[in-house]
Structure 1
Amino acid sequence: MSSSSAPAEQLRLAGVQAREVLADALARRAFERQGHLKDTWRGVLTHRGGAVTVLDIALPPDFPFTVPVVKPLTRAAANVWAGQEIEEYHEASWSWHRERKGHLCLFERGDPTRLPWADPGTLFEQIEAWLDQDLDGWPDDEPALDMDRYFRGSGLTVLFGDLAPVAGRVVQLRPARYGCRIVGEPARPRRGKRGRLLPWPRSSALVLDLGELTSPIRDWSSLVASAGPDAEKLVSSVHGGIRELVLRYRRGESVGALALEARPQGDGVALRAHVTAPLDRASLQRRSHPRHAELGSLSVSVLGVGAVGSAVADLLHRSGVGHLELVDPDRLLPGNVIRHLAGHEHVGRAKVAAVKSVLMRTRPGTGCRIDAREDTVTTLADARTLLESVDLVVDATADATASTLLAAAASAGAGRAVSVAVLADGVAVRVDHWPAPGTGALPEPDLPPTAPGVYEAGCSSPVSTTPPAAVWEAAAVAARHAIDELLSIPHTAGEERRLHPRPSQ
């Protein structure tokens, strides 16, 4: 056997063994293999209170690395299979915990190294727990808001803000890049020469508020039933030419949205789902930092926005810092873009302008104010002024003069600073706090000697061979320490992280 086929054979044997184990367990529970369906077993499961449910359990080709498909039969189908009326039969509801084709949602996608469904006992415990929860009507159900999974996808994405003000109205879906549509303002009806109403443009969408949903929408009939008093408007709009629907709904305190393409087809309406995503600032802030509201009132000056400094600025911007000041005298050169936040299209610009442009373009809705200043620190007065003007200075200059001046001014009480550096071309990264806490400063680093480097035109020192990964690791450590300092979270004097020993030459 070749070395390339060994892993495939190992995976095949693991699958065969797992199938045999589960097949034995199913047979012991009186489940029968369905001759017309390969690797599908059918049997009766008795659960709480003597309730029974007939299940089909299908093993996918990649079992045990993918989850078995468990689908309950309806009462009618179960009676036909049994050849008699099954007493105490529990017909599983079409709850939020079933997939589009009807099988049960049994396992969360968690640790990929664990395969709990491969153990027959665990699998049946989970099925019984699902059925018991279904008997109880799913109390304390979490409000999953992904109803698009019950439909075939369209490949488009609909972005929206607050839908409540436009509920019951026809709006325009404004085209955006990469297959996106943005829910716009209410559209005005169009009229012809004699005042007759003209059909709505194809880009029009009807927005409805469905209120609280107790079960998911899966097709046209369940959508009409869920529309309540707006059902007549929904039906007449779709049959009158509206082809796009944006539906607002609630599950408890959570608000969701479902965007559908609707096309009349025979006696019904075929539906396809668009991906939906909120476009408001609150949705951005949810993904920033748990204490983004506090960070939004604070200011940080990033001194030196080269490779490390630009990445620090990016992380602070993502985390919700309300005011960023970028300070650096240099311009972006072609060799910088390998490790820098800004790309080749910014070559020749001031680094501060390039970083500001990237941050503003990438996340325009954060509300962060960004100032760019082509300058540096060359005197104690400069250091004091900079420290006194903001809540925190992040020193990413890798310049001994600027760092010494900032450390002296901060230690004298002018303000707070965090300094970050990549050491010995990526052997280690280090962060220091100024002024140092009462426990004292970090000890001086113990580093291997650096190898002779390559000089480029315009450079007074060798080109750094620091790997890009070390740059971003340094930036991540610095951003964490900066946020701890800003939020007065207890911290040490800093952190030195050895990434790897320098390889022998």
Structure 2
Amino acid sequence: MSSNDGWEADRLREDLVVRGFTDDGVRLRGPVLWCPPAHAEVLARVEIKVDERFPFHPPQVRLLDPGALVEVTFHVDRSARRGVSGNLCLWDDIWPADRAPWTEADELLSRIAGWLELTAAGWPGDSVCDLERYLEPDPTTFVLYNAEQLAGLEGHAVHIRAGSTTGTKEIGETPHRLKRRSGRPGFRRADRQLAWVENLGQIHRPVRRWCDIHEVLGERATPVERLVAAGVVNLVLLRYQRGNQQSVLALTVKYTTAGIEVQACESADTSSYTRQMRAGATAALLADVPIAIVGCGAIGSLTADLLYRAGARRLTLIDHERLRPGNVVRHLAGLEQVGAWKSVAVRNCLSTIDPAVDAVQAMPTAISSPDQAIRLLEDHRIVVDATGSARATSMLAFAANTTGADAGKAVFTVCSQRDGDVVRVDRLPARSAETYLPPLPGRDKPNELREQGCGSAVSRTSPIAVAGAAGLACRVVLDELSEASMLPDSVAFVGHPQPEEPFTHVGLVTPKCASRNAVGK
């Protein structure tokens, strides 16, 4: 702790003492004035501990006496010791230390008073779903379930599958029919290691032990308890709702002489909706747009990856080459797919992000004729040319200028130049009155890199520049589909200044930059 941090803590302690708190050097105890519903103001007593994390972390606050009849429910940590109240959860948001409200005594006490008033009112409008925090944790188990299917499993046992990582358990998607062993007590061996699914409905207080769950479920709890006692069920999934939010509490359960012990597991939803929540605002826009990516090498593979993550599902991947070990350092695919066609390898990678790849086509072929290029553009709204091949690019340009303008289709060529110092994307055909950036001449490379068994020279473009090119291509595609047309037909990013105008400065370059430079001369 810096000397300034210590001064902040000392100042807070002194300010609290002025406001009636006692200080034993470790903890401060004192009054907080608050107003219960339909009552006059009362004095609560709290205990405040300012530890070494202050001011980067708020002080720990425990409620000693609320001063009125209040049921403490939500937003309080699980106590480390039985019979001792947990710390109040006063701030869900994180503040920088220099502006943190808990550094001021009045702000801190006002927050405590507000917490008491919300607790007394039953936390109206609160929809935080965090039942795990009120229970003992099971840190070794991570549970995966499909939320879209859980409703149909309520009141049933389901199989548990081992996940792909240690400690991960996947909940089955169909009910399991329990059968007792004929002529003998107990259940079959197949009726072991099962999960049970139930619904708590709208909850108004946390569950802290099995008896709380029994109280909510009522008679529905009895069959579950019998199965736990028989060793059949060792995992329970409880759907519940707070306010307008729904969630799932996953519990490992164990029968003991003292009753059923429960521990909360970290859990996650595997449904398509959840997997798309972080895809961005353009996911719906991209979902049904047919997009072809020609060239599934370094730039093409990462472009496909970004578009798929952003919501594109109707992708056609075209490349006639196989993945080589030397490609992997810049490619989406890893060594485990060496030898596969690059287009197939990319599709395999996309399936690990979202298995719904039915509309993703992998074509191990090349664009070999103008007619083929025209048909490709006719079948797709957008074609991304990431081949780095002048021949393929010229055929796609021919197709774009032949059919693209009238049909609302576009080809985007994306490339890396000068070993990745400049990455560039051009739209074909050009919109009316649009101009392109000037070409950047190639340079002689007397010491070209050569890979054994490969006839072509190896580009020195770094993985970082490749990722930048893919990102720029995706931004241009999204701009096209949104019809915003904020980006021009030609755009480049300069990572290292070049001697030729307008590529002399680091940053984004557009035809407007070229025009300004020309006027300046």
TM-score range, shorter chain: 0.7 to 0.9
The alpha-carbon deviation at position 480 of structure 1 amounts to: 2.5
2:56 corresponds to: 65
Contact 1:420 1:430 in 2 (8 A): yes
| Unpaired segments ≥5 residues, structure 2 | 80-85, 500-521
The alpha-carbon deviation at position 92 of structure 1 amounts to: 6.1
Residue of structure 2 aligned with 1:183, choices 146, 163, 171: 171
1:127 corresponds to: 112
The alignment status of 1:327 with 2:314, answered yes or no, reads: no
1:7 corresponds to: none
What SS does the aligned partner of 1:338 have? coil
1:403 corresponds to: 393
1:496 corresponds to: 492
Superposed, which structure 2 residues align to 1:96-107 within 5 Å? 97-101=75-79, 102-107=86-91
Residue deviations 1:61-105, cap 9 Å, x none? Answer: 222222322222245xxxxxxxxxx5xx3646212x222233222
Q: Distance in 1 between matches of 2:301 and 2:278?
A: 20
Deviates more, 1:384-393 or 1:46-55: 46-55
Contact 1:428 1:500 in 2 (8 A): yes
Which amino acid letter does the alignment assign opposite residue 412 of structure 2?
A: V
The alpha-carbon deviation at position 300 of structure 1 amounts to: 0.9
Q: Distance in 2 between matches of 1:136 and 1:311?
A: 52
Residue of structure 1 aligned with 2:187, choices 175, 185, 198: 198
The alpha-carbon deviation at position 58 of structure 1 amounts to: 1.7
Contact 1:295 1:487 in 2 (8 A): no
Q: Distance in 2 between matches of 1:368 and 1:469?
A: 31
Contact 2:8 2:55 in 1 (8 A): yes
Superposed, which structure 2 residues align to 1:405-424 within 5 Å? 405-414=395-404, 415-424=409-418
2:125 corresponds to: 140
Q: Distance in 1 between matches of 2:435 and 2:272?
A: 40
| Unpaired segments ≥5 residues, structure 1 | 1-10, 76-85
Superposed, which structure 2 residues align to 1:24-103 within 5 Å? 24-34=14-24, 38=26, 40-48=27-35, 50-75=41-66, 86=67, 89=68, 91=70, 93-95=72-74, 97-101=75-79, 102-103=86-87
Q: Distance in 1 between matches of 2:416 and 2:77?
A: 49
The alpha-carbon deviation at position 274 of structure 1 amounts to: 1.6
Contact 2:306 2:471 in 1 (8 A): yes
Distance 1:501 1:405, change over 3 A: same
Distance 1:122 1:417, change over 3 A: farther
Number of residue equivalences:
475
The alpha-carbon deviation at position 492 of structure 1 amounts to: 1.8
1:246 corresponds to: 237
Which amino acid letter does the alignment assign opposite residue 129 of structure 1?
A: G
The alignment status of 1:169 with 2:156, answered yes or no, reads: yes
Residue deviations 1:389-426, cap 9 Å, x none? Answer: 11211111122232233234223333212222223222
The alpha-carbon deviation at position 147 of structure 1 amounts to: 2.0
The alpha-carbon deviation at position 234 of structure 1 amounts to: 3.9
The alignment status of 1:357 with 2:348, answered yes or no, reads: yes
The alignment status of 1:429 with 2:423, answered yes or no, reads: yes
Residue of structure 1 aligned with 2:263, choices 249, 252, 272: 272
Q: Distance in 1 between matches of 2:414 and 2:493?
A: 11
Residue deviations 1:298-346, cap 9 Å, x none? Answer: 2111111111110111111112212111111222112111010011122
1:481 corresponds to: 476
Distance 1:196 1:138, change over 3 A: same
Deviates more, 1:449-458 or 1:98-107: 449-458
Superposed, which structure 2 residues align to 1:210-249 within 5 Å? 210-241=200-231, 242-249=233-240
1:440 corresponds to: 434
Distance 1:368 1:108, change over 3 A: farther
Distance 1:220 1:193, change over 3 A: closer
TM-score normalized with structure 2 length:
0.83
1:156 corresponds to: 141
Distance 1:309 1:463, change over 3 A: same
Distance 1:159 1:443, change over 3 A: same
Which amino acid letter does the alignment assign opposite residue 180 of structure 1?
A: T
Q: Distance in 1 between matches of 2:158 and 2:422?
A: 55
The alpha-carbon deviation at position 450 of structure 1 amounts to: 7.9
What SS does the aligned partner of 2:403 have? coil
TM-score normalized with structure 1 length:
0.85
Residue deviations 1:249-302, cap 9 Å, x none? Answer: 122343211111122344343211122211222222223243434422221111
